[in-house]
């Protein structure tokens, strides 16, 4: 399976969102786009041109945007709120909790420029806590697609998925390798490579690095199973348990703090169902800084080499 995965091109995942919301708008007249002064950054221009009467420019007033979106759902609309991930969560957590999650509103919170790969804008914009914040809200679905094509597919799919959704994606161009015509299934993990020695669970930009790591491990005679956990909540627990019962050890890789993210979700399942050695590839309880995406991923330990190292450590622990 690994040999069949090839880079089609390099595209921004936020571009996949832009194409996805346009297609969702064409399929469903209730889809509405809102933004907090970031239409260009969220690739909304094509949607605005085609559906000018279904676009709301809220200005730099993110809390108000969430309230407007919650109100629109009462009339049957499907609002997609758009801004940077930091402003989509930290700045408006109270409004999301009260007006969206507690009220069970069908709002799609679409967050670009997430994680370290935001790059040069620095620590104030590089939100690394958002997955944890959002998955703790009762009823909130949390989705972190891995590339352009999957982000597009997820953006289309959530229009037909009832309930609040947090959709997280990024700024930089990144390897685009999943199928263009894929059907996105909320809550269903994607098995990218079968293996018997180590289970590597990854989300977002880290999925491609996990694939690269699995190829390098194969050259060392290590068989790695790679699973794309694009939906962190609801988690595909059956897929997680089946994999770790087979391999006996885990690596999780995410562009997020070590606390509260994908790794902790996997650890929760493993602790209940099948405790095994588990190594994390994540940001180690620190803020980011200004730099290029590649520089930052290297400095904070989120690279192919770090996934390989973590895999070898987990296997060593398994073998005693």
**Full set of structural domains in the chain with CATH:** 8-176 (3.40.50.970), 190-319 (3.40.50.920)
Per-residue pLDDT tens digits for 184-196 = 999 999 999 999 9
What's residue 3's pLDDT?
A: 80
Structure tokens at 265: 């979700």
What's the pTM? 0.97
Per-residue pLDDT tens digits for 119-141 = 999 999 999 999 999 999 999 99
Per-residue pLDDT tens digits for 68-90 = 999 999 999 999 999 999 999 99
Q: How far is CA 116 from CA 111, 282, 283, in A?
A: 14, 11, 9
State which residues of the chain have pLDDT below 70: none
What's residue 4's pLDDT?
A: 87
């Amino acid at each position: 399976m690994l040999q069949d995965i090839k880079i089609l091109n390099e595209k921004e995942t936020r571009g996949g969102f832009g194409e996805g919301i346009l297609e969702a708008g064409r399929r469903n007249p209730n889809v509405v786009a809102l933004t907090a002064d970031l239409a260009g950054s969220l690739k909304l221009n094509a949607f605005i041109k085609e559906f000018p009467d279904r676009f709301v420019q809220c200005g730099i007033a993110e809390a108000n945007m969430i309230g407007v979106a919650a109100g629109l759902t009462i009339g049957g609309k499907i609002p997609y709120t758009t801004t940077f991930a930091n402003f989509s969560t930290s700045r408006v957590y109270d409004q999301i909790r009260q007006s969206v999650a507690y009220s069970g509103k069908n709002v799609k919170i679409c967050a670009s420029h997430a994680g370290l790969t935001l790059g040069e804008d620095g620590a104030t914009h590089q939100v690394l806590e958002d997955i944890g914040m959002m998955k703790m809200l009762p009823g909130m679905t949390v989705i972190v697609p891995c590339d352009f094509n999957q982000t597009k597919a997820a953006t289309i799919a959530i229009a037909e998925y009832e309930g609040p959704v947090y959709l997280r994606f990024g700024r930089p161009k990144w390897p685009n390798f999943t199928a263009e015509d894929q059907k996105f299934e909320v809550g269903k993990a994607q098995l990218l490579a079968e293996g018997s020695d180590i289970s590597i669970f990854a989300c977002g930009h880290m999925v491609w690095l996990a694939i690269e790591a699995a190829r390098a491990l194969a050259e060392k005679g290590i068989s790695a199973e790679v699973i794309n956990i694009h939906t962190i909540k609801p988690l595909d627990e059956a897929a997680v348990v089946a994999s770790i019962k087979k391999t006996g050890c885990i690596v999780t890789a995410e562009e997020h703090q070590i606390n509260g993210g994908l790794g902790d979700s996997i650890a929760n399942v493993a602790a209940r169902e099948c405790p095994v050695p588990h190594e994390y590839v994540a940001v180690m309880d620190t803020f980011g800084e200004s730099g290029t995406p590649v520089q930052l991923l290297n400095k904070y330990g989120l690279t192919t080499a770090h996934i390989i190292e973590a895999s070898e450590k987990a296997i060593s622990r398994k073998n005693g």
